Structure 1
Amino acid sequence: MVKYNPQFDDPVKFRQTVGALQYLTLTRADITFAVNKVCQFMHSLTENHWSAVKRILRYLQGTSHLGLLIQQKSASVIHAYTDAHKRSLTTFSNADWAGSLDDRRSMGGYAIYHGSNLISWHARKQRTVSRSSTESEYKALADTIAELAWLEALLKELHVSMTLEPILWCDNLGATYLSANPVFHAGTKHVEIDFHFVIERVAHKKLLIQFIKTDDQIANVFTKPLSSQRFIQLRSMLKVAPQP
């Protein structure tokens, strides 16, 4: 028996609240995934969607002491799970293949660090349906690299030098191998633009893509629901911490 889920009777209130939450994601990276989810129902919202918004608000009320921590001097070693301590930019990219039950599109997300400071993050449903987990991860890689290229250009204008090429961590072996393989496979021709975009950056040594275990993938917090314990663990890695 399907449970009845009535339409929410005040769509303006819903949109105003969600709009405010979108602004809050500029400093609270930990709510990015949840806010992106409720944003997908702006025009067909129900009581369940409003309940999800209220749950986000209750979480914020209980964690109002948290905020994005920016350190003036980054530590020499960023995290125990990365060897990128000599690199200016470190990036984590991830995708949840066919995670949406409504249209089977994948969620893509990334987290980009300058030193030990989180400076850019993203969670968004991909525009097209992916036919494999490798394809969804590769699309996420391309979106991440586009943001990375813009940040590199910005740092160059600000005269911030980079000693080594940025490193991008991906937890999908297929996407990692594909990014370094110049042989184009017939099964991936429908993502040809993304393929050549990524390959060009790697071939010119402007980017290093490496595999990371799923348990160490920070970008999971932007692509899928997590247990409370896992969420709190990744929240601390996002540098969302109590403010001094």
Structure 2
Amino acid sequence: MKDILKRASMVDCKPVVTHVSIAKTADDVATPYADPTQYRSLADALQYLTVTRPDLSYAVNLLCQHMHAPTTTDWASLKRVLRYIKGTLHFGLRISRSASLDIHAYSDSNWAGVARSSTEAEYKGLVDVSPEVTWFVSLLHEIGIPPASPPRLWCDNLGATYLCANPVFHAHTKHVGIDYHFVRDKVAKKELEVHFISTKDQLADIFTKSLSSIRFNSLRDKLNVLASQPCV
């Protein structure tokens, strides 16, 4: 992480507490950044960093959407991520043993730019996560430690959870029929369970939207991205 800061000449930058600002910014005037190669190189390096720092995933995803033609605004966003990293150099993903074999997956979607309704977007989020959970269950069976109960998928949209069990299509969801059958069949076979979770408890928010520092820090802790403990 220190090497990334050096490459951007930001070793002595002032840290910030979140990687993405929640404040509305003026529209980008599309001023091209003078050194797009530098932008792409740093954005690439940040992608590798998300393996051990999942709290960076949302910000890095945004940065990588503009690698083809970065602007000065994109560069400012990248520098903010580096300032966040500067203040969290001692953080990392802490993995510890668990006595439970229960599988929980959290599905969320920032729907405004990708779908006509929040229910549609949230349902598609469930569709995307279902194959991943199915693959993970298959892996556990293969290594001889099958889960004791069906995996639980948590979604903060009631409409999307109803679609997983209700055989009746609503007019505005007819076009997602193929995806609907995939998830609903899994639920009907009791291979998956879909449950509602309140927005305040939705862990996946950290991967889909900018958050206040209090909310962000709370979810980061729940991801087990924690400050390193001093050696005793």
- CA distance in 2 between counterparts of 1:157 and 1:11 reads 45
* 1:228 match: 213
In the other structure, the counterpart of 2:5 is: none
Change (3 A) 1:164 1:2: closer
The AA in structure 1 aligned to 2:52 is: T
Question: What secondary structure is seen at the aligned counterpart in 2 of 1:163?
Answer: coil
What amino acid maps onto 1:25 in structure 2?
T
Partner of 1:140: 125
Distance in 2 (CA, whole Å) between partners of 1:156 and 1:23 is 29
Across the aligned residues of Structure 1 and Structure 2, the Cα RMSD in angstroms comes to 1.6
**In 1, distance between residues paired with 2:148 and 2:181?**
25
In structure 2, how many angstroms separate the alpha carbons of the residues matched to 1:3 and 1:16?
22
Instruction: Give the TM-score, by structure 2 length.
Output: 0.83
Structure 2: gaps of 5 or more residues: 1-25
Question: Residue 56 of structure 1 is aligned with which of 81, 85, 90?
Answer: 81
TM-score with structure 1 setting the length = 0.79
Name the structure 2 match of 1:210: 195
1:76-120, Cα deviation, whole Å (9 max, x unpaired): xxxxxxxxxx6521111111121xxxxx22xxxxxxxxxxxxxxx
1:167 is aligned to 2:152: yes
5+ long unaligned stretches in structure 1: 76-85, 99-103, 106-129
Judge which range, 146-155 or 206-215, deviates more: 146-155
1:157 Cα deviation from its structure 2 partner: 1.5
Amino acid corresponding to residue 209 of structure 2 in structure 1: K
Distance in 2 separating the partners of 1:93 and 1:58: 29
Give distance in 1, aligned partners of 2:127 and 2:57: 20
Correspondence for 1:21: 46
Please state if 1:68 is matched with 2:93. yes
Which range is displaced more, 178-187 or 29-38? Answer: 178-187
Considering only CA atoms, is the larger Rg found in Structure 1 or Structure 2?
2
Which residues in structure 2 correspond to 1:113-152 (within 5 Å)?
A: 130-152=115-137
Contact 1:87 1:166 in 2 (8 A): no
Q: Which has the higher contact order (CA 8 A, sep 6+)?
A: 2
CA offsets 1:126-184 (integer angstroms, 9 cap, x no match): xxxx1110000000000011111111111112212210001111100000111111223
Provide the rounded CA distance (Å) in 1 between the counterparts of 2:79 and 2:207.
Answer: 20
Cα distance in 1 for partners of 2:27, 2:41 equals 30
